[in-house]
Amino acid sequence: MSVQPSPADLEAVHAQLGRVPRGVAAVAHRCPCGHPDVLMTEPRLPDGTPFPTTFYATCPRLTGAVSTLEASGMMKEMTARLALDDELAAQYAAAHEHYLSTRSRLGEVPEIAGVSAGGMPARVKCLHVLVAHSLAAGPGVNPLGDEALAALDDWWAAGSCVPKVSEGPGTGR
């Protein structure tokens, strides 16, 4: 379930990314520590750049764990399976359509029409996007994102990736 980001959410994401987040439409998923770990981004950034990555993983522990999966060769293996398994390919194509449908609710950007992210629907080129999509959409929507997510260790187990920040009035923290 996506929710509007609070100022504290945006501050946490700034700390996660080391920069001001751009084009944030919503918090699409929260880590068990309570901070955002996946954002939903606008299909066009504030500077006018088309941005097809609707679901954007922000937690550095999550992205680091996913990078380890990518380095293991998982993307190549998944892409090979797509060519051999018609049912998996159909489920992945449906995930692509879900991604496009979600993004279209945020706005239409002709330059990226029909383009989702992560290599969908024909290949796997970014597990970060697939995992972010799975976290945001929930289980059963993106089969390869679900598979990658299941292969991850509990990235949140060490506690929050966001250092304590000064707490002002009304932050609720």
Q: Which residues pair with 55 in a beta bridge?
A: 40
- What pLDDT score was predicted for residue 3? 86
Residue 87 within any structural domain of the chain: yes
Tell the residue number behind the tokens 């629907």, with chain if given: 121
Residue 161 within any structural domain of the chain: no
- What pLDDT score was predicted for residue 1? 60
Structure tokens at 12: 């946490």
Residue 106 within any structural domain of the chain: yes
Give the whole-angstrom CA distance, residue 76 versus residue 73. 6
Q: How many residues does this entry show for the chain? A: 173
Residue 159 within any structural domain of the chain: no
Domain count for the chain, please give it.
Answer: 1
Residue 132 within any structural domain of the chain: yes
- What pLDDT score was predicted for residue 155? 87
- Looking at residue 4, the DSSP 8-state letter turns out to be P
- What pLDDT score was predicted for residue 72? 97
Residue 160 within any structural domain of the chain: no
Residue 156 within any structural domain of the chain: no
- What pLDDT score was predicted for residue 159? 84
- Domain with 129, as residue range(s), is 7-151
Nearest Cα to Cα of residue 127 among 119, 139, 136: 119
pLDDT in tens, the chain (173 residues): 678 999 999 999 999 999 999 999 999 999 998 999 999 999 999 999 999 999 999 999 999 999 999 999 999 999 999 999 999 999 999 999 999 999 999 999 999 999 999 999 999 999 999 999 999 999 999 999 999 999 998 988 888 888 775 443 344 33
Residue ranges of the alpha helices (H) in 26-162? 60-71, 74-84, 86-104, 127-137, 143-151
Residue 92 within any structural domain of the chain: yes
